[in-house]
Amino acid sequence: MRILVNGEPKTVRPNVTVADLLVELKVSPQHVAVEINRQLIPRRLHGETRLAEGDQMEVVTLVGGG
Rounded distance between C-alpha atoms, residue 57 and residue 66, angstroms: 27
Interface mask (CB under 8 A) for other proteins, residues 5-24, using x and -?
-xx-----------------
In this structure, the dihedral spanned by the alpha carbons of residues 23, 24, 27 and 29, taken in order and rounded to 10 degrees, is -30
Task: State in angstroms the smallest separation of the CB of 33 from other proteins.
Answer: 4
Return the residue of 9, 11, 26, 65 that touches other proteins, per CB under 8 A.
65
Q: Which residues bind other proteins (CB under 8 A)?
A: 6-7, 28, 30-31, 33, 35, 38-40, 42, 58, 60-66
